[in-house]
Chains A and B, each alone.
Chain A
Amino acid sequence: MKILLALIPVLPLLGFLILSVFGGRLTRKMAALTGAGSVGISALLTLITGLSFLLSHSAGGVIVVNLWDWLSTGGLTASITFRLDALSLVFIFVITLIGFLIHVYSVEFMADDEGFSRFFAYMNLFVCSMLILVLADNLLLLYLGWEGVGLCSYLLIGFWYKEPANGYAARKAFIITRVGDTAMIIGLFLLFLNLHSLNINELMQQASLQWGGGSSLANWAALLLLGGALGKSAQLPLQTWLPDAMAGPSPVSALIHAATMVTAGVYLIARTHVLFALAPAVQTAVAVIGALTLLLAGFSALAQHDLKRVLAYSTISQIGYMFLALGVGAWSAGIFHFMVHAFFKALLFLAGGAVIVVLNEEHDILKMGGLRKKLPVLFWTFLIGSASLAALPLVTAGFYSKDQILWYAWSAGNGNPWLWAAGLFGAFLTSLYTFRLVFLVFFGEIRTQPTHQPGNLMKLPLIVLAVFSVIAGFIEMPGSLGQVHLFSGLISAVLPPVILTHENIPEIILQVLASVISLSGIYIAYLFYLKKPALGASLDKSRVTGFFYSGWGFDKVYDTLLVKPIVWLAEINKNDFIDSFISAIASTTVFFNRLLVYTQNGKLRWYVMGFAIGIVFILTILMKK
């Protein structure tokens, strides 16, 4: 059992090594087998491990595998130890399963690309880093995985490196997440200095012992870790990199930016929940940031033309929901939404990527239309995914998870009617922009003809994900519909249950309200974009839309406030004055060289003259004695 757990991250690592060393010499088939196969076997092992874990330990246990001691210096001991408990089980299940499906999809998606084995090498390394991140026993190993996923996202966003814009997007992603990473490492320093360990369990125990609720150290530590989470999960104020990261291939967007990497921040906050519980101000900040981000991203998604950018902003918005859930203390609801979101967002990205490919790389949704007859599989899977995203009542998994979050936003300990209202309005926006997308792409008249049908390797993962997007919700149904608490039962072994404080309005009313809102969103989208497309078109051209389109102007603000001054500083410091001291030494030497070079003019008589002068000097000096 322990060996199997250790193999789960190691197999993709092996896949990466084989592909990076031998990738040029492998055939397409071999590279695909290695790449997808390693993640596939990992997924299988995850299922086996998960099943035996659930059957034997019944959600309360942990499996710890210590591979070797990594560091042991100056009071810091860190070892390569993997720790499986209910929380990380959920995460590795999602990562390996969705990772495997995406790898299978990529075999066909990247079939014509020249960087085929390079792609799979990077993807395998990514899956390995993410698995290390969620299985890590101590924060240093987690940080290793953290950096690993950051690196892989850079490599994969800029995969088609020959386009300079892709490189720019990759750099932007890396730099902005770097800002978050720096905050996180300072947080790690703070934790280590005060609590003398980086082992997560020990940290949580020590923190609750030594730091009382609301102590400033706990606040700072939680704030710094939150900074790291904000960077990776693309929340306010570090959210500007995610829309531009759509420059990478669609499977990359699906894996990294929908299912796994952007949720690393959610995982971090959930893992260190004790710390956040000790810092209620920061926890409230988490919820507020989540609420603001989901609104901001929702508005921006409404104004986008690029299919993938709509989905990107949608991701930002949905992670905002997860942060909202974590912030009000609804830990299991946040993780549940993570799982469900992973399924339907990956589905949407893969289906969207397929649409873009069959339309010959056409990204603009205003140039698409009427594809539902021509691409039935894509249409139905995309519809199911969008329905789940818009939280279509009762039949989709998205409904159950989002509904739970909204209920806890109202009623939980940290909850607040304002947060609930923000979530509700966000749900309205979600269904609005989602079905705007669906109607513009799949309904109406055909503006761009699809060139071919997607193959089986692309259709199969879509179908599997669509199925999951529907049935995954049924493991956690609210009280009014059956009280199925499989998921929260699982998670409650690790994360504390929600404490309900404001149960003044019964849950059913809020549920009905949420359902009405999402349905009305669908209806208004239908109105604006299908029935009377002229309304929709005029809305797209208004100035407010332009503001939303640019992501509320964040890019511009960052550019003027941060980027331009730093670039200006670097420019004027190009010949910096510290350098001039050193180059002064060099130029003095050169100056003396120019002077002295006259004495080396190669003329014999000159040298003899030198001899004679030397003799005169020596004799004169000797005479003085």
Chain B
Amino acid sequence: MITISVEIQILFAALLFLIGLIGLLVRRNVIFMLMSVEIMFNAAGMVFVIAGAHWGQVDGQVMFIFILAVTATEVSVGLALILQMFHHFRTLDADELNTLKEDN
């Protein structure tokens, strides 16, 4: 239906992924970090759908469904952890959670 080459589509997905990566690296607030991870998941899934549409097969969409299930699980558990972290440390700063550091 569309005549845009598949490269451009994948490139778009890659751009979304990279924006998510930048967001993960830059932000200190854990909620934003989790959000960036979501963006990256979404972009990755999009690549699957693009590939499926390119070859006319259904497997791409099926993969995206599975990725969606995983993402949903991961978000719920991750947010539960963020709740615990906030309860303990009273802050949402990811840099505060550094007790696993090597103390010399």
A residues within 8 Å of B by Cβ? 593-594, 597, 600-605, 608-609, 612
Contacts and interface: CB of A to CB of B under 8 A. Distances in A.
Given A608-B25, A609-B25, A603 B98 contact: yes
A365 B102 CA distance: 70
A586 to B, nearest CB: 15
Contact of A601 (B28, B33, B101): B101
A452 B35 CA distance: 98
A137 to B, nearest CB: 65
Interface in B80-100: 94-95, 97-100
A602 B24 contact: no
Nearest to B95: A603
B98 to A, nearest CB: 3
Given A600-B101, A602-B102, 5 more contacts: A597-B104, A601-B102, A604-B33, A608-B25, A612-B21
Contacts, number: 35
Contacts of B24: 605, 608
Contacts of B94: 603-605
Contacts of A593: 104
6 contacts: A601-B102, A603-B95, A603-B98, A605-B24, A605-B94, A612-B21
In the A-B complex, list the 5 residue pairs whose CB atoms are closest, starting with the nearest.
A602-B98, A602-B101, A600-B102, A597-B102, A602-B100
A595 to B, nearest CB: 10
Contacts of A612: 21, 25
Contact of A605 (B28, B99, B102): B28
Interface in B23-49: 24-25, 28, 33
A604 B97 contact: yes
A602 B93 CA distance: 13
B35 to A, nearest CB: 14
Contacts of A608: 24-25
A594 B104 contact: yes
B73 to A, nearest CB: 20
Nearest to B103: A597
Q: How large is the interface on B (under 10, 10 to 19, 20 to 34, 35 or more residues)?
A: 10 to 19
Binding site secondary structure of chain A:
helix
Interface in B41-87: none
Contacts of B104: 593-594, 597
A495 to B, nearest CB: 75
Contacts of A609: 25
A98 to B, nearest CB: 67
Interface of B: 21, 24-25, 28, 33, 94-95, 97-102, 104
A594 B104 CA distance: 7
A604 B37 CA distance: 13
A597 B103 CA distance: 8
A593 B101 CA distance: 13
B7 to A, nearest CB: 16
Contacts of A600: 101-102
Contacts of B95: 603-605
Contacts of B21: 612
Contacts of A594: 104
Contacts of A604: 33, 94-95, 97
Nearest to A594: B104
Nearest to B104: A597
A623 to B, nearest CB: 14
Of B21, B99, B104, most A-chain CB atoms within 10 Å: B104
Nearest to A604: B94
Nearest to A615: B21
Nearest to B36: A608
Nearest to A600: B102
Contacts of B101: 600-603
Contacts of A597: 102, 104
Contacts of B97: 602-604
A601 B98 contact: yes
A229 B102 CA distance: 63
Contacts of A605: 24-25, 28, 33, 94-95
A289 B88 CA distance: 88
A231 to B, nearest CB: 54
A181 B21 CA distance: 78
A603 B97 CA distance: 7
A608 B22 CA distance: 10
Nearest to B30: A604
Of A597, A605, A612, most B-chain CB atoms within 10 Å: A605
A591 to B, nearest CB: 11
A557 B24 CA distance: 80
A593 B100 CA distance: 16
A602 B98 CA distance: 4
Nearest to B99: A602
A602 B104 CA distance: 13
Contacts of B100: 602
A121 to B, nearest CB: 52
A612 B24 CA distance: 10
A609 B25 CA distance: 6
A78 to B, nearest CB: 58
Contacts of A602: 97-102
A605 B27 CA distance: 8
Nearest to B27: A605
A511 to B, nearest CB: 87
Nearest to B22: A612
Contacts of A603: 94-95, 97-98, 101
A612 B20 CA distance: 12
A590 to B, nearest CB: 9
Nearest to B37: A608
Contacts of A601: 98, 101-102
Contacts of B102: 597, 600-602
A602 B21 CA distance: 19
A604 B94 CA distance: 7
A612 B25 CA distance: 9
A600 B28 CA distance: 17
A514 B21 CA distance: 112
Contacts of B98: 601-603
A616 to B, nearest CB: 11
B92 to A, nearest CB: 12
Of A594, A600, A601, A603, most B-chain CB atoms within 10 Å: A603
A609 B104 CA distance: 22
